[in-house]
Amino acid sequence: MSAAPSRKPRLPVHGVLLLDKPAGLSSNDALVRAKRRLNAKKAGHTGTLDPFATGLLPLCFGEATKFAQDLLNADKTYETTVRLGIRTSTGDTEGEVVSEQDAEGITLAEVKAALSRFVGEIDQVPPMHSALKRDGKPLYEYARAGIEVEREARRITIHDMTLLDFSPPFLTLRVSCSKGTYIRVLGEDIGETLGCGAHLHSLRRTRVGQLEISDASTLDDIEETDRSRGESILKPVDFLLSTFPAVHLSEDHAKRFMHGQRLSLEKEKLFVPEAAERVRVYAFVSQKLLGTALIRHGSVLAPDRLIMT
């Protein structure tokens, strides 16, 4: 009797994958597929996309997972098509139709006036079909059981909203917004303002912070490569830190830093750009990323998140 083939050991893989998530997969399902293809030990995503949505989903592997939190707080940009006149139970195409109303008579002027009301700081009530938790249970579990619970409105910011197309009953928008914005709710609220109801017909995320969909790879791109070529798709561990100023340490300073010691900027003659609050730190000779540091009281370099490879 032949022995069962041994499983390949999962190897340390470090870096960032900009994934163009397809429709029909949850963010976690997409992560699992990418992780399996790269045979990676540790991975995480930087905020979810609804299964029906497509677009930019940054995935972090290995040491890069330490910096995933920064993208959770980043601004996002979406392109969405709103179907006026039909409300659904989920606010998108996955729910059941709950009401219908003729929207063919709505004019471009009415649409533009409605959109203008949602630019800037607004209050938004999170949807029942979301992963937000109440008493330790996600809201979508209550929704599936037919229970609606009270939700507090949250203050969000719509930085910019551009009308890309209006072909009644559809309108297509590009929305740049703060973290925590639900585009499904925005579409529903626009429909309510127009007096006809609405739901999202499509949703695509095109930007997260400084990251662009044009740099993303698809699951097919990853699955059509072998492991070594698959890793070449990954961006380096410090890819998510590009907006932070860089500080380079001597060998002695680097050792002290990696042991968690704080360094005096003035005493050690370390240059940090004025007003910097957080920096990325490298070893001067090897140019290796050591981690990130916080600038305390404008004069101390305090280790924040350290790279262990």
Long-range contacts of 264-268 (CB under 8 A, 24+ apart): 264/299, 264/300, 264/301, 265/295, 265/299, 265/300, 265/301, 266/299, 268/301
For 9-46, b/e burial (b = at least 16 CB within 10 A) is eeeebbbbbbbbbeeebebeebbeebbebbebeebbbb
Per-residue DSSP letter, 132: -
Determine which one of 50, 92, 189, 238 is catalytic. Answer: 50
226 is catalytic: no
Long-range contacts of 229-236 (CB under 8 A, 24+ apart): 230/37, 230/38, 231/13, 231/15, 231/38, 233/17, 234/13, 234/14, 234/15, 234/16, 234/17, 234/38, 234/61, 235/15, 235/16, 235/17, 235/18, 236/15, 236/16, 236/289
CA proximity to 29, closest of 219, 270, 285: 219
Taking the CB of residue 252, how many other CB atoms lie within 10 A of it? 9
Residue 222 vs residues 23, 33, 79, 293: alpha-carbon distances, Å: 17, 9, 25, 33
Distance CA 168, CA 104 (A): 6
Contact 282, 274 (CB under 8 A): no
Question: Parallel, antiparallel, or unpaired: how do β-strands 289-296 and 300-306 relate?
Answer: antiparallel
The three-state secondary structure class of 113 is: helix
Active site residues: 50
